[in-house]
Structure 1
Amino acid sequence: AKEGGTRSGIIVIVDHCQGATKYFMKTNHDAGPAESADRFPPNLKELFAYKLLERIGAGPIVHFPDNSYTTVFVVYIATEEVQGLRVIKELGDEELTDGGFRSIVREKIVQAYLILLLFGLADLNEENFGLSGKHDLSVFDFWVNNINGPDKALTEFLNLEANFGMGCENRYLLLKEANEESRRMIAKESLKQWNISENLVLAERDLQSIKDKFRAHGVEFTKGTEDLHKYISSISDRLKAFESM
């Protein structure tokens, strides 16, 4: 389980007829830290971002177990174990001397930086994303701030003006190794691979049944559907800016 941060979680192993599946489970960010009694309605944007990352193949399979019998202010986020996951923070300097592996890691860090800006995420530090055994990017922890417009997001990508979050200083150097032209190429290939426009629609459809289930149990969401639609629209606007570069 993740031991640091305000959203430390637990490992859950689910037995089923095909065997067993391991999940990392934590609460939504608006649930508040464990040592505090403050609780706030969960935000649909956070749940949507997890489903969108799953859809584009840049995040783990995610489920949102119902916790309404205990409280309507806490939603659990359960991400399925990523096979062969290497968390960015755990990569050793010695193995990064391998030019081929260093190039792969650099590309994934550029992709994570792109997602940070495109999806309006924050706190994407070294403990919160990594590489799967197949060397695919996996983003598994973050929070949504969604503060930048399309022009600012693109400028921050091209000029490296944004911040991953606390504790990313060492791997930020790898990001800086990718010059602007290299970052443009990685972004264009990634956007083509992720097919975000279509997956925005599919992720919203995924979330609808989840939202209906929670609301049937008395769970209300911060600003609800209207706020989610604004978030999706802002991603679309930023996507157009990145596709035009």
Structure 2
Amino acid sequence: MREATKNHFQQQHYKLGAEDETDFGCRFEARPIHLGGSRKNTIAYVKLHGQNEETKFNIKCHHFGPSNSSSHGQSPEINEIYCYKLLELIHVGPQVQFIIPKRFTGSKLSLYIVTRWEDDFIPLSGNTEEAVGVDVLVQILLLGTFLFIDDLHSKNCGYWKDTKEVAIVDFMPKAFFTFTNVKRAFFYNDLSVYREISHSDTECDEAARMEVARKCLKKWDLLSQIDLAIEQITPEMDQMKQQEIGFKGFNSSSEKLDQYISTIKQNIIKLIGT
């Protein structure tokens, strides 16, 4: 992971006009135990050509991918890659990059997800100064339900300190399907944040949650951003195809992504129309 990360940022360094590596820096630290995410994650501090300060990044393998000690693991899920980009575009997630290693050790399964570390992220678990607005919890529930992402616990979710807007910095993809009853899926979800909503504000009834959902879908311009996110991950999809990196459960990344996008849109359009 660290070798692939260093190579990735070295390429960016030279693209910025560097002639050598005298002003290039890339150092690593283990991810602090008290933070969310896997203990296998790594923190990287990177300085590229023309930059005066280091930028901090979190580096992780895709969910259920091979670890440093084993080449065995599951293939990446294209919807995990896609969702990181979509969350970035709607300003819920941090800036994201993807690293596809050129060399493998016994497995062609690895894909690394690089997110810029944002110090203004306040996790739900770390908020001690003020009550978290119930609309933040409703937005987490909305995105978890309709993007089919899980592991949205109090260390992975919260809000951005300056804007108080919802933030999701890590998650796990899960199976997707068309909802028979979109309201029931939204109101009675098994995500842990649903229980927090139920106990945090007795006035946040179903009508109030629908109002928050409609307002946020409009603010995010979600249906348009869904299409833009596809365009922005196309280079990674093409590169993975060239390197014969398979995707879990489907013959091609585009086949699975098409079905995933279609499912998201159908469910959201149903919700808006209710």
Q: Please state which band the TM-score falls in when normalised by the shorter chain.
A: 0.7 to 0.9
The 5 A counterparts of 1:84-103 are 84-92=120-128, 95-96=129-130, 102=131
Task: Please report the RMSD computed on the Cα atoms of aligned residues, expressed in angstroms.
Answer: 2.4
Cα deviation, residue 235, structure 1: 0.4
Deviates more, 1:36-45 or 1:1-10: 1-10
Q: Which residue of 2 aligns with 1:116?
A: 144
Q: Which residue of 2 aligns with 1:228?
A: 257
Cα deviation, residue 43, structure 1: 1.4
8 Å contact kept, 2:79–2:173: yes
SS in 2 for 1:131: strand
Per-residue displacement from partner, 1:167-223 (whole Å, max 9, x unpaired)? 985565226652222211111110001111111111011111111123333423232
Deviates more, 1:5-14 or 1:72-81: 5-14
Q: Which amino acid in structure 1 is aligned with residue 257 of structure 2?
A: L
Q: Which residue of 2 aligns with 1:13?
A: 45
**Normalising by the residue count of structure 1, what TM-score does the alignment of the two structures yield?**
0.85
8 Å contact kept, 1:85–1:131: yes
The 5 A counterparts of 1:125-140 are 125-133=153-161, 134-140=163-169
8 Å contact kept, 1:7–1:29: no
Gaps of 5+ in 2: 1-30
- Identity %, equivalent residues: 24
Per-residue displacement from partner, 1:132-163 (whole Å, max 9, x unpaired)? 12212111211221344234443132x3x112
8 Å contact kept, 2:63–2:172: yes
Deviates more, 1:108-117 or 1:207-216: 207-216
Which whole-Å CA distance do the structure 2 matches of 1:189 and 1:168 have between them? Answer: 19
Answer 1 or 2: higher relative contact order, Cα 8 Å, separation at least 6: 1
Q: Which residue of 2 aligns with 1:79?
A: 115
Deviates more, 1:145-154 or 1:115-124: 145-154
Deviates more, 1:29-38 or 1:119-128: 29-38
Question: Aligned to 2:218, which of 164, 174, 192?
Answer: 192
In structure 2, the CA distance between the partners of 1:86 and 1:8, relative to structure 1 (3 Å rule), is farther
Which whole-Å CA distance do the structure 2 matches of 1:168 and 1:38 have between them? Answer: 34
Per-residue displacement from partner, 1:95-143 (whole Å, max 9, x unpaired)? 34xxxxx3x5321111000001111112211111111122121112112
Which whole-Å CA distance do the structure 2 matches of 1:143 and 1:193 have between them? Answer: 24
Larger Rg: 2
Per-residue displacement from partner, 1:12-48 (whole Å, max 9, x unpaired)? 1110223322111111003056666532221111100
**Normalising by the residue count of structure 2, what TM-score does the alignment of the two structures yield?**
0.77
Which whole-Å CA distance do the structure 2 matches of 1:184 and 1:169 have between them? Answer: 17
Q: How many residue pairs end up in the alignment?
A: 234
Gaps of 5+ in 1: 97-101
2:267 maps to 1:238: yes
Q: Which residue of 2 aligns with 1:57?
A: 91
Q: Which residue of 2 aligns with 1:28?
A: 62
8 Å contact kept, 1:151–1:241: no
Which whole-Å CA distance do the structure 2 matches of 1:176 and 1:25 have between them? Answer: 39
Which whole-Å CA distance do the structure 2 matches of 1:24 and 1:39 have between them? Answer: 21
Question: Aligned to 1:164, which of 185, 191, 194?
Answer: 191
